[in-house]
Structure formats: C-alpha cells, structure tokens
Structure 1
Amino acid sequence: MNVLVSLAAILFVLMILIGGKKGARSFIALFLNFAVLFLTIILMTDPHIDPIILTLISSTVISCVTLFYINEVNIKTITAFISTLITIIILLFFILAVTKKTMIQGFGEEELGDLGIFTLFVGVNFVKITAAMIIMSTIGSITDVAISITSPMREILIHKPFMSRKDLFKFGLSIGRDILGTNTNTLFFAFFGNYLALLLWFKDLSYSFGKLVNSKVFSAEMVTILCAGIGIGLIIPITSWITAYFLEKTTKNNKTIK
C-alpha cells in the first residue's frame, strides 16, 4: 500500500510540475474514469441491464471526463467528443459481429484451472461482455487520437484563417498518418507486456505455432488489438472531416475560434 501511495504521489507531483492546473485535472480524471469503469463492471453483473447500452453510456461519460473536464469545453473538445461517439458506435457493433464470428467470448482452457471451484452459470451474455471489454480497452486510444488531431487543426486555422475545408481535412489526415503507427504499436507492445508470462508459459508447454494462434486466450487478445487498431484508423478521417466542417462553419459565421 505504501508503494502505491508513493508512486501515486510521484505521478501527481510530475503532472503538477509539467501540466499545472491541467495536470492536476488529469490526475483527478484518472480516478474519475476508474470509478466509472468500476461501476460499469458492477452493473454488468445485472442480467436486466444490456452490456452494449451500458458500454455506450460509460464510454460517453469517460469521453466527457477525458475531454471536457481536462481540456474544458471548446471547439476542439466538442468535435473530438462527437468523433469519438460516432467511432465508438460504429466500432461497437462491428466488434459485436466479430466476437460472434470468432467465438472468443468466455474463458480459454488455460484459465479453467482457476475457475474450477466456481459455477459457470452466471447468467450474463459473454458475447456482449467481450465486445464491451474490447471497447473499454480501446476508448483511451480513440479519445487520445481525436484530441491529437483537433487541437493542431484549430491552431493552424488561427494562424491561417483562410484555409478551405478541403485543406483542413488534408491537414488532419496528415496528422493522423503521423500518429497512426505509434498508437497501433503501443497497443501491440502493451499486449506483449501484459501477456509475456503467458507467452513464456506457452513456450514451456511446447505449444506449436498453430496451437498458439488458435488458443482462445491468444486469439482474443489479438482480436482486441486488431479491433483497437481499426478504431484508431477509423477515427482519423472521421475527426478530420468533422473538425474541418465545424471550423469552417465557425469562420464563415465570423465567430472567434476558442
């Protein structure tokens, strides 16, 4: 416990020194988002609550906290929020279809040993639970990409107020191309970091490459990474177009860009 408090204190000090008030809000937002996720997990155990609808609501709340609480309400956060919601809705139903097709829901045989003393009749839809889990692991990357695109697009229009919507859209896409590779690589290496012990265990058990790829634990994580990567690739053109539209509309109405 002392180690956790010490690490949290170091993180808080660094965020204050580097980010000032925004750093403090970012630190508080971590705990707010954790509370939302924890409440979501509790509510998912209720068989009367649809996990898909619950995921959409919790994703909306997390996006509001991440965008509006940290960066305040302005045109860049509003357009990032709209883009995030559109991407999440598209991605959620896509992931739901992929989960049904690949049958990655539930537990793999490597996990059954720890579950032997528990009943498996928990009364929840594991297809929807798995789809919700993938979205929850993707929401952070999606909002990060969205705000990373909207912020420089707003800045360039302040310095070049006569840019057309087409040029703004191309500028947003160019930013997206720069961050696409780094974000997808982050997801890929996060998987290997979290599951390094499992991969070593596969090696000790002499899993063949075919058995490794077809194991539910491995394939479920790979589907998560690929779906998250698709979400990152999807939000780039969506955010670029929506932001270009709103920025051009604002300048045409002779309003100050905030």
Structure 2
Amino acid sequence: MSTLGALIAVLAILMIIVGGETGIRSFFSVLINTLLLILVAILISWGISIPILTLIFIPLKLATIIFLGTHDYTVAKNSFYSAFTVCLLVSVLILICQWLAQAAGLGPESGEVLVGLSQMPGLSYPMIAVTVAIFSALGAIAEAAVAMSSGLLELKKHHAQITRKELEGSGTAIGNDVLGTAMNTILFGMFGSFLSLFLWYFRLGYSFGEIVNEKLFVNEALIILYSLIGVLLTVPFSTFLLARGMSKDEVKHGDQKSNTN
C-alpha cells in the first residue's frame, strides 16, 4: 500500500470512530468532492465552456460538502442557502479582481518545467484562474455557514423562547469566534503551503515590489482574500437567514394554534 493509500485508510477509520454515521458521510463527501474536481479538470481539457462548468459545479460541490457532512437537515438547508448566495457574491468580486490583477497564467518559475511544451493549450487562463479561486473559497464559506447554523440551532433548541433580536446578538458572538478560527486556519494554511516559495524568494533576493507583483504570490494572496471576504459575509448572512426562518416558523405555529382553538 502506498503512503497516500495508508493515510486515506487512517483518515477513514478515524472519521468513523469519531463521527460515526456523520463521519462516514463526511468521508464520502471528501471523496466525491475530489472526484468532482477531477471531473471539472477533464471537462475543461475537453474544451467545454469554463463559466458554464463553474456555475453547474458550485451548487454540486456545496451540496456535497454540506448535506453529506451534516446530520441535521435544517442546518444543511440554511447553510446551503447562505453559502450559495455568498458564493455568487464572491464570484462577482473574483471576476472583477482577477480582471484587474491580470495575474493569470504561468510565471517564470515554471519555465524549466515547461521547456519543450506549448504554453498556449487553447484554454482561457483568466477563466481557469477565476474557477480555481471560486472553488478554493467554497470550502471556507461552507464551513463557516455550517458552524453558524449549527451553533444557532443548538441555542434555539435549548432556549426555545429566545427572541429574534437575542438570536441575532448570539449569532454575532458566535460569529466572532468563527471568524477568528477560520481566518487563522486560512492564513496558516497559506503560509504552510507557501513557505518553500517564500524561502525561494528571499534566497534569490527578490525585492518587496517583485514579490507582490509575482504571479504565484498574487494568485495565492487573492485566493486567501476571497476566502476571508466570503467568511466575513457568511457569518451575518447565515444569522439573518436562520433568525428570519425561525420567526416565520413561529408565526406559522401561532396561526395553527389559533385556528385550532
């Protein structure tokens, strides 16, 4: 068995032990999302329209992440609505920022690897960069949406008489913790994956101006910013949707009771 296969087996066993049925579904969610990414890459290589593929696979990936990884349907439904709306908003921001940055394509660091190969494969590098940025931000947005919805629903279950204003206030408090952990996770993830490149920049004597204008760094930094903005938008939007939905349910239950009486 290869190292990768052994690690996948360990991951599956631990997820089953810790999460039980939800852990099994979460593991299959990871596998399905990996297959979806491979499928997207294959379809793009076949020349299928990248914007159409992106619009189709955004809800598919969100549904896989959220519904398979969450045992509560109410949490999953609210998380999906809020995450999908935020993803659409962030996608518009990504389109604008990628056009302004003009950082798509291959940097000079890839020169030795691509010697003898064509760097014009007939695909739109800017659209590929947009798709990569959107898919990279999906995970952070979905995670924040599920965390917010789960916390608020548990609060509502234990305090059934809580008002909408109190629920929104609690959502703000929960959101502060979610933001702190999510941002640290995103930033440290970027630093960990980018550490070798940072060392390479410094050993080669890159100036600050050269680093911030380097394609690899700009693309990674933009993806981090998109993810952070997505999380920032998800926290208040999830709170608003859940509080609004609970208020509607209470009104319906009140009408049903009055009609019964």
- Give the TM-score of the pair, scaled to structure 2: 0.92
Cross-structure match for 2:133:
134
Answer whether contact 1:153 1:168 (CA < 8 A) is retained.
yes
Listed one character per residue, the Cα deviations across residues 164-190 of structure 1 (whole Å, up to 9, x for unaligned) are: 222222222221111112211211111
Listed one character per residue, the Cα deviations across residues 16-48 of structure 1 (whole Å, up to 9, x for unaligned) are: 111111111111111111011111111122434
Task: Show structure 1 runs of 5+ residues with no match.
Answer: none
Task: Please tell me whether residue 55 in structure 1 is matched to residue 33 in structure 2.
Answer: no
Task: Please tell me whether residue 105 in structure 1 is matched to residue 104 in structure 2.
Answer: yes
Cross-structure match for 2:22:
22
Listed one character per residue, the Cα deviations across residues 80-119 of structure 1 (whole Å, up to 9, x for unaligned) are: 0000110111101110110000111111121223223221
Compute the displacement of 1:199 (Å).
1.4
Task: Please tell me whether residue 245 in structure 1 is matched to residue 247 in structure 2.
Answer: no
In 1, Cα distance between equivalents of 2:48 and 2:135? 20
**Any residues of structure 2 matched to 1:120-159 within 5 Å, and which?**
120-159=119-158
In 1, Cα distance between equivalents of 2:176 and 2:91? 23
Cross-structure match for 1:94:
93
Q: 55-64 or 158-167: which moved more?
A: 158-167
In 1, Cα distance between equivalents of 2:116 and 2:246? 58
Aligned length: 254
Percent identity among equivalent residues?
31
Letter of the 2:222 partner, please give it.
V
In 1, Cα distance between equivalents of 2:57 and 2:167? 31
Task: Show structure 2 runs of 5+ residues with no match.
Answer: 255-261
Q: Structure 1 residues 21, 239: closer, same or farther in 2, change over 3 A?
A: same
Answer whether contact 1:56 1:89 (CA < 8 A) is retained.
no
Answer whether contact 1:104 1:220 (CA < 8 A) is retained.
yes
Compute the displacement of 1:128 (Å).
1.6
Q: 4-13 or 70-79: which moved more?
A: 70-79
Q: Structure 1 residues 57, 68: closer, same or farther in 2, change over 3 A?
A: same
In 2, Cα distance between equivalents of 1:72 and 1:252? 26
Task: Please tell me whether residue 79 in structure 1 is matched to residue 85 in structure 2.
Answer: no
SS class of match (1:124): coil
Answer whether contact 2:86 2:234 (CA < 8 A) is retained.
yes
Listed one character per residue, the Cα deviations across residues 126-178 of structure 1 (whole Å, up to 9, x for unaligned) are: 22211110111111111110010001111111222222222222222221111
- Give the TM-score of the pair, scaled to structure 1: 0.93
**What is the alpha-carbon root mean square deviation over aligned residues?**
1.6
Task: Please tell me whether residue 32 in structure 1 is matched to residue 36 in structure 2.
Answer: no
Answer whether contact 2:148 2:178 (CA < 8 A) is retained.
no
SS class of match (2:111): helix
Compute the displacement of 1:248 (Å).
1.7
Answer whether contact 2:22 2:71 (CA < 8 A) is retained.
no
Letter of the 1:17 partner, please give it.
I
